Amino acid sequence: MAALTPELKARFDAETSQHRVVLYMKGNKLFPRCGFSAYALAALQAAGADVHTVDVLAEPDVREAIKEYSGWPTLPQAFIGGQLVGGSDIVRDLAQSGELQKLVKGGG
Amino acid sequence: MLTPEFIQARILEALPDAYVRVRDTTGGGDHFEAFVASPSFAGKGMVQQHQAVYAPLRPWLQTGELHALQLRTTPSIPETPPWQP
């Protein structure tokens, strides 16, 4: 059975369009439970993002469904402006090149 | 438990022209780091480049046998490798 129900798809559509920066991660802002999630969150915040986080460990349904939704097989997953940006490696590369700040600010 | 050689072979099946280095970051056989350079990445975004590497590894990502794969991708093969195996 597909993990991505219509209800979850509608939720992800809403979540990623209502918040400029969304991070599906293991743990939350106070207690990231994975080094990669912690890194991605810190890099996004350092780039000036007001990050909306979703803890996939607290919501097991979301953990598999978000992978189907995005076509991205690992966590964390960052969305900016409704688009999948990638996981912690891409966030790192974008932060190092200065692109991340521009993406977070938007406009353009 | 997976090995760097196994991961490398799966990536090379999907990207035969690629230069691939893989290492086990913890020694536990489930956390790996890969550097993949392939001319086929030219003109592609980062998401697409990483997708191309994840694609042949999906079965193991899905079961959790492959828990984490740190990735660095680039279209051009470097003169000096990022690390020694």
What is the per-residue pLDDT across A24-76, written as a single tens digit (0 to 9) for each? Answer: 999 999 999 999 999 999 999 999 999 999 999 999 999 999 999 999 999 99
Closest partner residue to B61 (CB to CB) among A36, A74, A89 is A74
* Block mean pLDDT (10 aa), chain B, length 85: 97 96 95 96 95 96 93 89 65
Task: Return the amino acid letter for B72.
Answer: R
Q: How far apart are the C-alpha atoms of A80 and A103, rounded to whole Å?
A: 7
- N-to-C CA span, chain A: 41
Which CATH code of 3.50.50.60, 3.40.50.1820, 3.40.30.10, 3.40.640.10 fits the domain covering A6-105? 3.40.30.10
Whats the size of chain A, residue-wise? 108
Exposure string over B42-79, b if 16+ CB within 10 A, otherwise e: eeeebbebbbbbbebbeebbeeeebbbbbbbbbeeeee
The domain segmentation of chain B, as residue ranges, is 4-74
Residue A100, Cβ neighbours under 10 Å: how many?
A: 25
Which CATH code of 3.65.10.10, 3.40.50.280, 3.90.550.10, 3.30.300.90 fits the domain covering B4-74? 3.30.300.90
Task: Quote the pLDDT of residue A2.
Answer: 72
Task: Quote the pLDDT of residue B80.
Answer: 79
The domain segmentation of chain A, as residue ranges, is 6-105
Beta-carbon separation of A72 and B51 below 8 A: yes
The ipTM is: 0.80
DSSP string, A10-39: HHHHHHHHHSSEEEEESB-SS-B-SHHHHH
Task: Quote the pLDDT of residue A1.
Answer: 52
Q: A96 pLDDT exceeds 70?
A: yes
Within 8 A of B46 by CB-CB distance, chain A residues are: 86, 90, 93-94
